[in-house]
Amino acid sequence: MSTASSMPEPASEAPHGPPADRRPLIEVDGLKVHFPIPGKGLFARGGGVVRAVDGVSFAINRGETLGLVGESGSGKTTVGRAILRILDPTEGRVLFHPETPRAGNGAGAGGPVDVTTLKGERLRRFRRHMQLIFQDPYASLNPRMTVRDIIAEPLEVQGLLKSKAAIDARVREIAGRCKLNVEHLRRFPHAFSGGQRQRICIARALVTQPEFIVCDESVSALDVSIQAEILNLLMDLQAEFQLTYLFIAHDLSVVAHLSTRVAVIYVGEFVELAPTRRLFFQPMHPYTKALMSAVPTVDADAAFDPIALQGEIPNPADAPSGCRFHTRCPYAQPACTIDRPAWREIAAGHFVACHYAEDIAAGHLAPNHAPGVAAE
């Protein structure tokens, strides 16, 4: 693959491995995650809520990589963690559709698992099916455990394999698939480089044979050449184990290379979701256009007017009314400050939340000179 610093050809289907099966593995419906802001003082009644994720609905198809992009603080990590039930959603549902009911996956007779309602032992046993690969391989590995024990731990916690010999065999197998050798298993994490540590994290995530992985900025902390190695490994593993990924990243070139489809999030709300090629070359939402305009090689070929993104992302504890992008949008109209745009499918598989997406695309609406100033 090309390195993460240049813009690769966006993928319209999964670039490696089998084409994404269009049946959903994960269905997210009206997901909200609100964090209470604690008030100060003994009798404080609290200071409102941070609407980190505020009503998102989407599906992730079996075998695909759904990219998730947006500025810092837009809610990407919170979406991933709520799907995995590392965080409890405030509202909404997350459904997991297993291929076949399997021991311990919580599915009834072929039906989906409602991940949002799992509790206690059922939730604990379900965790093997959905795993997380973090951004920071330095922080996420226990420095006092050997690599063998780090990779084996999820198997032991889940009680999936009883004998030490069976666990060792499974650890050796998955370590090999992640290009770690037997010698590495005896060492401690400090002996490894960033790329090798991320291989250890990936092996640990895959050892329970999950179907779904959230990769949260999984290559962002690595050097560009190492990023390419890890991305290739993730794509090879996806093909080998029929994995489904939610791939969260700031770097749009990385997302373009890896993703079947891409979703764009802004202040806790999805603003656009489309097949990767379409999103990069025909974005319909002004915020997506602004993000794409920052990628020079997309801008040169794309059929959209570039938009410079100005100002800061609003605080989700005090989100703008109506369309949350209206304070920065050069096309904002009076209605944009009042009415929340509907999430609608404007072409097959292309969803957008903007009142004026078609008018902007057709050139019927000129940008205001000052972004966010409503036209007369």
Closer to Mg ion by Cβ: residue 76 or 128: 76
Nearer to Mg ion by Cβ, of 72 and 181: the residue is 72
Cβ nearer to ligand SF4, comparing 10 with 283: 283
Number of Cβ atoms within 10 Å of the Cβ of 43: 5
The span of 57-65, 77-85, 205-213, 263-271 binding Mg ion (CB under 5 A) equals 77-85
CA–CA separation, 292 vs 270, rounded Å?
16
Nearer to ligand ATP, 77 or 253 (CB): 77
Q: Are 114 and 28 in contact (CB under 8 A)?
A: no
Residues that bind ligand ATP (CB under 6 A): 35, 50, 52, 70, 72-78, 316
User: Which CB atom, from 279 or from 329, has the smaller least distance to ligand SF4?
Assistant: 329
CB of 262 to ligand SF4, least distance (A): 17
- Minimum distance of ligand ATP from residue 189's CB (angstroms): 23
148 binds, among Mg ion, ligand ATP, ligand SF4, none (CB under 5 to 8 A by kind): none
- Residue 344 CA to residue 358 CA, distance in Å, equals 12
In whole angstroms, the minimum distance from the beta carbon of 106 to ligand SF4 comes to: 39
Q: Of Mg ion, ligand SF4, ligand ATP, none, which one sits near residue 227, judging by CB under 5 to 8 A according to partner kind?
A: none
d(CA 186, CA 180): 11
Residue 329 touches which of ligand ATP, Mg ion, ligand SF4, none (CB < 5 to 8 A by kind)?
Answer: ligand SF4
Q: Which does 283 bind (CB under 5 to 8 A by kind): ligand SF4, Mg ion, ligand ATP, none?
A: none
Q: 331 contacts which partner out of ligand SF4, ligand ATP, Mg ion, none, CB within 5 to 8 A by kind?
A: ligand SF4
Q: How far apart are CA 188 and CA 59, in angstroms?
A: 39
Single-letter amino acid code for the residue at 88: D
> What residues make contact with ligand SF4 under the rule CB under 6 A?
285-286, 323, 325-326, 329, 331-333, 336, 341, 354-356
What is the nearest approach in angstroms of ligand ATP to the Cβ of residue 287? 14
The amino acid present at 150, given as its one-letter code, is: I
Q: Which two tokens stand for residue 31?
A: 């997901």
Instruction: Decide if 70 contacts 265 (C-beta within 8 A).
Output: yes
Backbone angles phi, psi at 334, to 5 degrees: -55, -40
> Which residue do the tokens 């993460």 mark?
4
Q: Which is nearer to ligand ATP, 50 or 115 (CB)?
A: 50
**Given the complex with ligand ATP, which of 192 and 245 has the nearer CB atom?**
245
| Cα 331 to Cα 366: distance, rounded to the nearest angstrom | 7
**77 touching Mg ion, by CB under 5 A:** yes
Cβ 323 to ligand SF4, closest distance in Å? 3
Nearest to 260 by CA among 281, 276, 236: 276
Report the 3 state secondary structure along 184-212: HHCCCHHHCCHHHHHHHHHHHHHCCCCCE
Structure tokens at 6: 């240049």
Rounded Cα–Cα distance for residues 113 and 120 (Å): 15
Given ligand SF4, Mg ion, ligand ATP, none, residue 270, with its beta carbon under 5 to 8 Å by kind, binds none
Closer residue to Mg ion, CB minimum distance, 50 or 360: 50
Instruction: Check: CB of residue 111 under 8 Å from CB of residue 45.
Output: no
- By three-state DSSP, how is residue 270 classified? strand
Q: How far is the CB of 329 from ligand SF4 (least distance, A)?
A: 3
| Residue given tokens 């029929």 in the structure block | 242
Nearest distance from residue 76's CB to Mg ion, in Å? 5
CA-CA distance, 125 to 192, in Å (whole number)? 31
Minimum CB separation of residue 254 from Mg ion in Å reads 15
Chain contacts with Mg ion (rule: CB under 5 A): 76-77
